[in-house]
């Protein structure tokens, strides 16, 4: 069976996806279809993404207007290429960069590739739901910049994978006071700012560079994204330079047409599609709050949360998160975006149908009636453990082979990691090369392994490469 045949068969099944991409395989949301007949190269009259002067320049200008930013660039290698280019463009080799420790793995890859010195800022737990992720506090950003005056850029992720939003306006003001650009990985917030039900997008809150994955929460093709630039603190010329280097020299016109069609939809029908979406989403969230055992998560400060994310906690119940995800898939044909240690995540978008929401509602309410509260439910660690950064990630490639060793998760505490270790999704590293592995970090690795999760980033399964002389 070819990949196309398998995809076609899946497309004709009744499986419903509560995960990205945001178009949800809903053909009715867009007017256009995107098969081979529009797959071309840089021919006369169709411009060149790497030297745009015509239709692609106009398309990017429309996107900038829709998102309220000064300059927008199409990304056909995902938000990853935007993050790599933004960090490379705003820094020089050896520079210190303030990095939120819950950032996507691509941020750490950028630090390794471009010889940057990460200064980590750890998110703080919200006063609200204990299962949800954490936000970056503006006061902590101020403190870290004061302690490390050599910092040349601030890199944060907001919203987090499960929807928690940081105070971008306050963080931007602090960064700008020190004449430092703020880069925001807003990959999961491409839908922000189009309805008051959701937070404002970071472009309008003072961020210098914002990266959006339009494919995650909007009707767009997988790996399509946008990079926005504002103000003068970010070196736009250098960012463009790295985009030229890191993006494909053969950008897909199918992908670019998909981005432009998505922007056109926002430009012409945003109020219509978001009104219907918000109405349906609000009804779903209201109904799910009636569950007696499973729990719909949201923080107390609702404006700092992306309510498009349906996070269902299983802690305190007789059901594990993995079992809930399995039952939703096998019994109801509902595919979740992510299963974490104590919750499952259903991603929604403007392309979700009322029928899809009703299927999820029915499934969760039925499962909730079949389980019970369990006070002895095992607590799962969800917050990243603080670790000691002894060496730079870029230095780890120079370690002699005879000083490297692969050890089990049980035996790694106290040693220096040579590999990344993370769950994917969300892709936020538990460990980064150069970090001394704490007892807590080793325990978390063992805990996730024992629960059946796959730890990615390591070469050998259930083992991690370490520097024995570190």
Q: What is the pLDDT along the chain (470 residues), one digit of tens a residue?
A: 765 677 678 888 899 989 878 888 887 877 766 566 778 888 888 999 999 999 999 999 999 999 999 999 999 999 999 999 999 999 999 999 999 999 999 999 999 999 999 999 988 765 556 678 778 999 999 999 999 999 999 999 999 999 999 999 999 999 999 999 999 999 999 999 999 999 999 999 999 999 999 999 999 999 999 999 999 999 999 999 999 999 999 999 889 999 999 999 999 999 999 999 999 999 999 999 999 999 999 887 767 899 999 999 999 999 999 999 999 999 999 999 999 989 999 999 999 999 999 999 999 999 999 998 886 555 566 566 677 788 888 888 889 999 999 999 999 999 999 999 998 888 899 999 999 999 999 999 999 999 888 899 999 999 999 998 87
Closest-CA residue to 216 (of 189, 181, 193, 255): 189
Question: Between the CA atoms of 56, 62, 66 and 68, what dihedral angle is there, to the nearest 10 degrees?
Answer: 90
121-154 confidence digits (pLDDT tens):
988 765 556 678 778 999 999 999 999 999 999 9
CATH topology of 270-369 equal to that of 388-467?
Answer: no
What class has domain 270-369?
A: alpha beta
pTM of the model: 0.92
Write the secondary structure of the chain as one string of H (helix), E (strand) and C (coil). Answer: CCHHHHHHHHHCCCCEEECCCCCCCCCCCCCCCCCHHHCCCCCCCCCCHHHCCCHHHHHHHHHHHHHCCCEEEEECCHHHHHHHHHHHHHCCCCCEEEEECCCCHHHHHHHHHCCCEEEEECCECCCCCCCCCCECCHHHHHHHHHHCCCEEEEEEECCCCCCECCCHHHHHHHHHHCCCCEEEECHHHCCCCCCCCCCCCHHHHCCCEEEECHHHHCCCCCCCEEEEECCCCCCHHHHHHHHHHHCCCCCCHHHHHHHHHHHHHHHHHHHHHHHHHHHHHHHHHHHHCCCCCCEECCCCCHHHECCCEEEEECCCECCCHHHHHHHHHHHHCEEECEECCCEEEEECCCCCCHHHHHHHHHHHHHHHHHCCECCCCCCCCCCCCCCEECCCHHHHHHCCHHHEEEEEHHHCCCCEECCCEECCCCCCCCECCCEECCHHHHHHHHHHHHCCCCCECCCCCCEEEEECCC
Q: Where are the domains of the chain?
A: 3-267, 270-369, 388-467
35-72 confidence digits (pLDDT tens):
667 788 888 889 999 999 999 999 999 999 999 999 99
Burial of 10 (0-12, 13-18, 19+ CB in 10 A): exposed
* pLDDT given for residue 115 in this prediction: 96
Distance CA 73, CA 442 (A): 41
Residue range 3-267, CATH number: 3.40.640.10
Side-chain half-sphere CA neighbours of 177 within 13 A: 12
At the topology level, CATH places domain 388-467 in: Ornithine Decarboxylase; Chain A, domain 4 (3.90.100)
């Amino acid at each position: 069976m070819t990949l196309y045949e398998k995809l076609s068969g899946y497309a004709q099944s009744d499986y419903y996806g509560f995960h990205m991409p945001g178009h949800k395989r809903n053909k009715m949301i867009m007017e256009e279809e995107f098969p081979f007949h529009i797959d071309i190269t840089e021919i006369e009259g169709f411009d060149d993404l790497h030297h745009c002067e015509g239709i692609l320049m106009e398309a990017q200008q429309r996107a900038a207007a829709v998102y309220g930013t000064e300059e927008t660039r199409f990304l056909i290698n995902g938000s990853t290429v935007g993050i790599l280019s933004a960090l490379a463009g705003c820094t020089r080799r050896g520079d210190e960069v303030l990095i939120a420790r819950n950032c996507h793995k691509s941020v750490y890859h950028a630090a390794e590739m471009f010889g940057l010195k990460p200064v980590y800022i750890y998110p703080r737990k919200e006063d609200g739901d204990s299962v949800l992720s954490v936000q970056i506090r503006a006061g902590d950003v101020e403190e870290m910049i004061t302690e490390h005056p050599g910092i040349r850029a601030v890199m944060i992720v907001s919203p987090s994978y499960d929807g928690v939003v940081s105070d971008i306006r306050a963080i931007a003001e602090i960064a700008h006071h020190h004449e430092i650009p703020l880069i925001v990985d807003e990959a999961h917030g491409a839908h922000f700012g189009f309805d008051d039900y959701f937070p404002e997008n970071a472009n309008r809150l003072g961020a210098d560079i914002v990266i959006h994955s339009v494919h995650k929460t909007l009707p767009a093709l997988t790996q399509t994204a946008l990079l926005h630039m504002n103000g003068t603190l970010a070196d736009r010329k250098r960012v463009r330079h790295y985009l030229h280097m890191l993006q494909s020299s053969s950008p897909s016109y199918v992908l670019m047409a998909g981005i432009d069609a998505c922007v056109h939809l926002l430009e012409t029908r945003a109020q219509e599609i978001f009104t219907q979406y918000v109405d349906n989403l609000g009804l779903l969230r209201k109904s799910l709050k009636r569950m007696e055992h499973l729990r719909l998560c949201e923080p107390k400060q609702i404006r700092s949360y992306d309510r498009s994310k349906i996070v269902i906690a299983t802690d305190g119940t007789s059901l594990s998160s993995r079992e809930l995800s399995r039952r939703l898939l096998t019994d109801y044909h509902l595919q979740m975006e992510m299963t974490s240690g104590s919750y499952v995540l259903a991603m929604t978008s403007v392309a979700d149908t009322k029928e899809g929401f009703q299927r999820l509602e029915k499934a969760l309410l039925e499962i909730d009636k079949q389980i019970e509260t369990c006070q002895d439910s095992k607590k799962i660690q969800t917050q990243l453990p603080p670790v000691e950064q002894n060496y730079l990630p870029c230095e780890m490639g120079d370690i002699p082979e005879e000083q490297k060793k692969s050890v089990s998760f049980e035996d790694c505490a106290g040693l220096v990691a040579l590999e990344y270790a993370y769950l994917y999704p969300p892709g936020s590293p538990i460990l980064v090369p150069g970090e001394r592995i704490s007892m807590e970090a080793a325990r978390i690795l063992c805990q996730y392994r024992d629960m059946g999760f796959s730890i990615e980033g390591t070469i050998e399964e259930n083992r991690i490469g370490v520097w024995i002389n570190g």
